[in-house]
Amino acid sequence: MKANKTFNLKKDNRAQVGIGTLIIFIAMVLVAAVAAAVLIQTSGVLQQKAQSTGKQATQEVSSNLMVKNIEGIRAKTNSTNMSDTIDLLRLKVGLNVGSAPVDVNQVVISITDGTTANTLVYAGNEKSYASAGSSNGAMGNFTDTASTNLKTLLTNETTIDSTLTNSQKYYTVEKIRDEDASFSQANPVMNTGDLITVYIATTSDEAVKGNYSQVGTADGLAASGLKSSNLTLVPRTTVNIVLTPESGAATTADFVAPSSYGVKETVQLYP
């Protein structure tokens, strides 16, 4: 007879234990923690960059100046003794609908008559023409009064590292509409609804020799004498003006002067 055989299955329910297993477990936890930290940090950086890019993009498409019209003014002594050239440009400037505030102190204006090109900064800008590490770049004798600054623009020079002719290097402004009273000569920030006048000197050599006493609202100029802008805006002159704000699109205004100024002191040039 065959003997009965009994088979017994050995139960092995003990897990791996020991330092090796513990090290592996801790390493897995650390790797997961590091990966999570990297993902969180990366997502945070990407979010910040996305917000910054979105803000800059919004400014680029919304911070827009609008030139509503341009008038040319001839220098004169009286109603019958006037310059043959346009010696001051008066630009009426506002903001486009939905535009962000614009700091006029940072707006650069370029103007050319086809022969000469001037690049102008705001008369109160302390940095553009300043000595290295200084804040002395504003137009000499710059004040809080728009009319005084206009007269200084037409007749004076500014000495920094060298002597600058104001009419070749600066422009001035005057507010027309400023409901929140936020616009000033020292802090020329335009908000929605604001309207200002920008003055660009275009005094010609002929006007300087004529010893005229008045240009627009600025009078008593004969004693100081006009300073040449090196621009000559005779009839039929093609003029290009570009206003470039700190952020946002540049604004361009082109016009051709009339074939004759006649007896007009103020000439409509644009649009």
In this structure, are 140 and 265 located in the same domain? yes
In this structure, are 29 and 138 located in the same domain? no
* Structural domain range at position 231: 65-270
pLDDT at 96: 87
In this structure, are 254 and 136 located in the same domain? yes
Using CA of residue 118, residue 120, residue 123, residue 126, what is the dihedral sign? negative
Closest CA to 208 of 120, 83, 88, 113: 83
In this structure, are 220 and 140 located in the same domain? yes
Decide if 5 is inside a domain.
no
In this structure, are 118 and 249 located in the same domain? yes
pTM of the predicted protein model: 0.79
In this structure, are 46 and 101 located in the same domain? no
Domain termination residue (choose one: 43, 62, 81): 62
In this structure, are 45 and 151 located in the same domain? no
109 alpha-carbon distance from chain centroid: 9
Decide if 1 is inside a domain.
no
Q: Coil, strand or helix: which one is 20?
A: helix
pLDDT at 4: 64
pLDDT at 22: 74
In this structure, are 47 and 111 located in the same domain? no
Q: Residue ranges of the chain with pLDDT lower than 70? A: 1-18, 49-63
In this structure, are 143 and 252 located in the same domain? yes
In this structure, are 71 and 201 located in the same domain? yes
Decide if 168 is inside a domain.
yes
Decide if 95 is inside a domain.
yes
pLDDT at 62: 45
Reported as half-sphere exposure (CB side, CA atoms, 13 A), residue 246 has a value of 13
pLDDT at 171: 98
- % of the chain with per-residue pLDDT over 90: 67
pLDDT at 60: 46
In this structure, are 100 and 26 located in the same domain? no
Decide if 55 is inside a domain.
yes
Separation between Cα atoms, residue 189 and residue 164, nearest integer Å = 26
Q: Which residue in the block uniquely carries the two structure tokens 């000499």?
A: 140
In this structure, are 22 and 100 located in the same domain? no
Decide if 147 is inside a domain.
yes
pLDDT at 13: 61
Decide if 44 is inside a domain.
yes
Separation between Cα atoms, residue 154 and residue 203, nearest integer Å = 8
Domain count, the chain: 2
Decide if 13 is inside a domain.
no
